[in-house]
Amino acid sequence: MAEQRRGLEAWLLGRGRPPEPRIDPLLRGVLEAASPGLALLDAEDRMLVWNAELARVAGPTMPLREGMPMSQLVAADIRDGVAAALDAGRQVEASLAAAGAPRVMLDRRPLHEDGVGGILRVTPVAAARDTAEGAAAARLQSVGALAGGIAHDFNNLLTAIAGSAEAALARAPMGEASAELRQVMESAGRGAALVKQLLAFARQQALRPRVVALNEAVAAMGGLLRRLLGSRVRLTVELEEPGRRVRIDPTQLDQVIMNLALNARDAMPEGGSLRIATGHAMVLSPEAIGQEILPPGRYAVLEVADSGGGIAPDLLPRIFEPFFTTRRERGGTGLGLSTVHGIVRQSGGFIAVDSRRGEGTRFRIWLPRHDGPADPPAQPAPPPAATSPEHVPAPMTCTAPVLLVEDEAPLLKLAERALTRAGFEVLTAGSAEEALDLLDRGAPRPLALVSDVVMPGADGLELAQALRLRDPDLPVLLVSGYAEAALGRDLTAERIRLLPKPYGLADLVAELRAILPAGKAEVS
């Protein structure tokens, strides 16, 4: 028995000759326990032994028999093509000869032993896809969880780095170290952009969705894209009328279009054509698109199609994976398409790609239609201190202190200094519990609450809720590296403003001023 086991192990690892398949009960036990359909083939590709799963897949109209040629499993009109693919060592999808049998994936592993040709694996296509997609989904979920988990700490570090440089630069805009400080801030900004891409993939970035007219958004990008694509790429923009409206962060929609367009440009080094079009779709029943299911509903559709060389079939299922790139030597990070996928999915939409070698690539995005009117254009934000540190806000005279809560000591000190320079009186705490204790011991009622969301113990949301029991009209500004959706709350309905990390100190001051009611704080 020990010798038989060693022989079987060697065979399973692709080494040595298997035990005699017709009489070895151990081999039959292994075959029967296997979930895919398996058959052992002789040197002429005739079936020697098989498991019950293969008999089930073949169906009752195709009884298997010893010595039966493997080719008889496959529909007659594709036998030559299937045999060629298997001989080349490739996996191939095929139809079985039996009526009503499912489509299957076939692959064969040669054993190269006298009298034994190899082992054939037969798996229904649906099961093969479920397994592959489940594994891919698990991998992506793991990376997404990692990205979301590290974002908070990275954003705290980047806020501290950029804030310290910003504060030093504000004190001496033309000092000897000003060039180095600006470089620090620029590097921190690049780090923040990278974290933002990770959060986009993880669907946890802070979005500010608005109802936008899709045609107008695409048309507005046309001029910019023509300059970026260069003269070798012919850009065509086709806008279906009447136009549809969608609810999405306009900046992130621009990023989606930009990323897809630049990706298409890189796929056409010798030039070509790029088509960006809008349309609509009415989905009456669930539809499979790529590796996802498009649910019923009314959608606005955005297409981006190029005439490049296309994507190899073996690479196509992986293009939305983070860090996967075929242009590593040219500086590719593998985050462009994963960012696009994350933005689309976080906005409630779906994306799919189809491509053929030599025939180009087409991305299609379905975004839920919005029937209400488009929101008015957002007012441009004031320039942040990161680019204009010499523009210091006018100091204010306040009637009460701002309660500032942050568990990271460097960030607490930076924010306190910025608010103090802006004229606010500041009461600081390192946790929600400490803040409540200060108030219980007689600290004055706060003018407003500025708090981090993620902290040991009670979080910023719980602190805001506790303080609103004492003062229902208390203005609240929360800072976080996570999106509002990731927090699981409708902050707008709760009259809570969210400032994404990393933030500039001037942004912190401006956001606080924006939530204060008239008369609570005045410019001195």
**Domain CATH code at residue 56:** 3.30.450.20
Q: Are residues 260 and 235 in the same domain?
A: yes
Contact 163, 414 (CB under 8 A): yes
pLDDT at 61: 64
pLDDT by residue for the chain (524 residues), tens digit each?
Answer: 444 444 444 444 444 444 444 435 555 566 666 667 888 888 888 888 888 888 878 776 677 888 888 888 888 777 887 888 788 777 888 878 765 566 788 888 887 555 557 888 888 765 554 454 445 555 555 555 555 556 656 677 777 777 777 777 777 777 777 777 777 777 766 666 666 655 555 545 556 778 899 999 999 888 788 877 878 889 999 999 988 999 888 888 888 898 898 888 888 888 899 999 999 998 887 787 876 778 888 999 999 999 988 888 878 777 877 666 665 555 455 567 877 887 888 788 899 998 888 889 999 999 999 887 777 765 544 443 443 444 444 455 566 899 999 988 888 888 898 899 888 999 999 999 999 999 999 899 999 999 988 888 888 888 999 999 999 999 999 988 665 555 556 777 888 998 887 788 888 999 999 999 865 555 44
Residue 306 has what DSSP assignment?
Answer: E
| pLDDT at residue 245 in the model | 92
Q: What are phi and psi of 196, to 5 degrees?
A: -65, -40
Domain-embedded: residue 50: yes
Whether residue 252 lies inside any domain: the answer is yes
Which of 169, 185, 202 is at the close of a domain?
202
Please check whether residues 241 and 298 belong to one and the same domain: yes
Give how far the C-alpha of residue 503 lies from the chain's centroid of Cα atoms, to the nearest Å: 22
Indicate the residue among 95, 125, 155 that finishes a domain: 125
Where does a domain end: 76, 98, 125? 125
Identify whether residues 114 and 143 lie together within a single domain. Answer: no
Domain that holds residue 18: 2-125
Residue 64 belongs to a domain: yes
d(CA 200, CA 273): 28
Distance CA 442, CA 465 (A): 19
Helix axis angle for 336-346 and 250-266, nearest 10°, is 150
Residues 273 and 287 in one domain: yes
Q: Does residue 475 lie in a domain region?
A: yes
In this structure, are residues 122 and 73 in contact, taking their beta carbons and an 8 Å threshold? yes
Contact 239, 257 (CB under 8 A): no
Is the domain of 65 the same as that of 184? no
Residues 148 and 112 in one domain: no
Based on the fold, state whether residues 446 and 503 are members of the same structural domain: yes
